[in-house]
Amino acid sequence: MHHHLILSLSLSPLLPPASPLSQIGVMTVTVFPVRLFFAVFLMLLAWPFAFAASLGRSELAVETETWWRRICDIALRVIMRAMWFCGGFHWVTVKGEPAPPSQAPILTLAPHSSYFDAIPITMTMASIVMKTESKNIPVWGTLIKFIRPVFVSRSDQDSRRKTVEEIKRRAHAGGEWPQIMIFPEGTCTNRSCLITFKPGAFIPAVPVQPVVLRYPNKMVNAQLSSILWLTLCQFHNPIEIEYLPLYTPSEEEKNNPALFANNVRHIMAKALELPITDLSFDDCQLSQAKGPLRVPTNSSLLQFNRLARRLGLRTGTTDTVLQQQASRARNIWGYRLGLEDFAQYLDLPVTDMLTELHSLFNQHGDGQIDVREYVIALSVVCQPSKAMDTLRLAFGMYEAKEDRAIVEKELASILRTALGVAEVDVTELFSAIDTLDAGKITHDDFCRFVVQHPDFAQEYLLSSRETPSTPHTVPLTNGFSVDHYNTEEPTCSLPGQKKKDN
């Protein structure tokens, strides 16, 4: 089976077989506005308690629990539970025994699929990892600050390291801090399988308690923006929260967070009776990126992304680093690199994984690669939402010095690699850009064309390629084929798609 990339999907509402649309229509004009009103009212009611409890709190230490803060905590739990009740979550089934913070400073939750995964957070008032910008949202920001989250700043280049250090500091505090609830998938999925866990929850090398979420209702695909509406249009929304036994890492797992994360994922997948897949948060970002070069579902860039991540090639790859890589590639572009030379270029030892990465670009099957294609692929996976930056980088490596132009064959090489497909026919596209019939185009020519044709890839390159029966094995170049990531069981579908067996 061909395995599609998982994207953000809904908490799938339970719709009866008889006239679901008519039911939604009736609930939309009757129950939905009432529930929405009470949800907003209860959030506003919770605000003064959260504000009072947050006054004077230190971000670096935990103060002694005072009687008035304890009252605020109880009041907030009651109000939040009432809010979920008004939303149709009339009862919450809890299985297993929650471990105290002193035994399990970190809780790992999966699968992450909707806004309503916040229910266990409000039931325990555990801390979470949140964007710094969230605390500035009126009302909501105050409620967030009450649970003492670990804030992540997008504007801080060193944010990831600081976040990990703060999680480690709290995890090693002997239970003084509230437990930290982390969704290690790092993104929302459709609950059909578990994607690769990010290592943040496992780097502190402390025992964790896995927590699995179940919504035992009929699956119907809906966009994330429709979740609130569809869920509030249901009379009852069932949810199960199961606390699995405490997982204490071995010495090997303490030294290898990726192994630790993967072993915990297997346990959670077994409890959920779900398959696992090597797709990751980065893969989801890559596939969801908007712009003229949206990565197709059959793109072998997903395989490249996995290898680059495991080899550590993505770490610290900023715009400046990409420019430096492009400059080096341009200087040696006339020399095709064998495996040994490629290893030296990357300053890595020759391993099976590096051999596989090198083979991805072995277009002619002669064991030699054009390193410029590697730089293009790296730019795509490191900045998936900046397609035009990648194309500017690529033109800079391929263009002739005398007129800063490229020919049709070079445009084909750039776009084939940037899309991660076997081959592209750019004849029609090149002719449309080359209005003077000069046989070459510049980056400025290309940019002017993209302004007029923002979906040029779909219009000129992929319209005939994207079919439901895309083969399981898709080459990145002519010389090498790669299998898409394996899951142990069924396929994982895109939003709005039905699951299909090929």
Where exactly are the structural domains of the chain?
A: 20-279, 284-483
Structure tokens at 281: 């948060």
The pLDDT score that the predictor gives to residue 154 is 66
311 φψ region: left (φ > 0), alpha (ψ -120 to 50), beta (else): alpha
In whole angstroms, give the CA distance from residue 16 to residue 355: 53
**Residue from 310, 318, 323, 245 nearest 283 by CA:** 310
H-assigned helices in 332-367:
339-346, 352-360
- Which letter does DSSP use for residue 87 in this model? T
- Which letter does DSSP use for residue 98 in this model? P
- Cβ–Cβ contacts within 10 Å for residue 422, how many? 18
Are 131 and 277 in contact by the 8 Å Cβ rule? The answer is: no
The DSSP bridge pattern shows strands 441-442 and 240-243 to be unpaired
**Each residue's pLDDT tens digit, 423-432:** 888 999 999 9
| 494 Cβ contact partners less than 8 Å away, ≥ 6 residues apart | 4, 5, 6, 7, 297
The pLDDT score that the predictor gives to residue 270 is 96
3-state secondary structure of 476: strand
**Residue from 261, 357, 360 nearest 313 by CA:** 357
The pLDDT score that the predictor gives to residue 333 is 73
3-state secondary structure of 108: strand
The pLDDT score that the predictor gives to residue 213 is 95
Structure tokens at 207: 């025992």
Are 202 and 100 in contact by the 8 Å Cβ rule? The answer is: no
The torsion angle over the Cα atoms of residues 62, 68, 70 and 72, rounded to 10 degrees, is: -110
The pLDDT score that the predictor gives to residue 155 is 64
Are 232 and 35 in contact by the 8 Å Cβ rule? The answer is: yes
| 481 Cβ contact partners less than 8 Å away, ≥ 6 residues apart | 473, 474, 475
The pLDDT score that the predictor gives to residue 421 is 83
| 124 Cβ contact partners less than 8 Å away, ≥ 6 residues apart | 98, 179, 181
Handedness of CA 185, 189, 194, 196 (dihedral sign): negative
Please list the ranges in the chain whose pLDDT falls under 50.
Answer: 1-19, 219-221, 464-502
- DSSP readout, 397-462? HHS-TTT-EE-HHHHHHHHHHHHT-S----HHHHHHH-TT--S-EEHHHHHHHHHH-TTHIIIIII
HEC letters along 215-284:
CCCCCCCCCHHHHHHHHHCCCCCCCEEEECCCECCCHHHHHCHHHHHHHHHHHHHHHHCCCEECCCHHHH
In whole angstroms, give the CA distance from residue 162 to residue 157: 10
Task: Calculate the alpha carbon distances from 339 to 328, 347, 349, 375 in Å.
Answer: 17, 12, 10, 16
Structure tokens at 128: 């979470």
H-assigned helices in 110-209:
119-124, 140-146, 159-171
Handedness of CA 148, 189, 285, 451 (dihedral sign): negative
The pLDDT score that the predictor gives to residue 60 is 77
**Each residue's pLDDT tens digit, 467-496:** 333 333 333 333 333 333 333 333 333 233
Handedness of CA 344, 345, 347, 349 (dihedral sign): negative
Structure tokens at 246: 């405490």
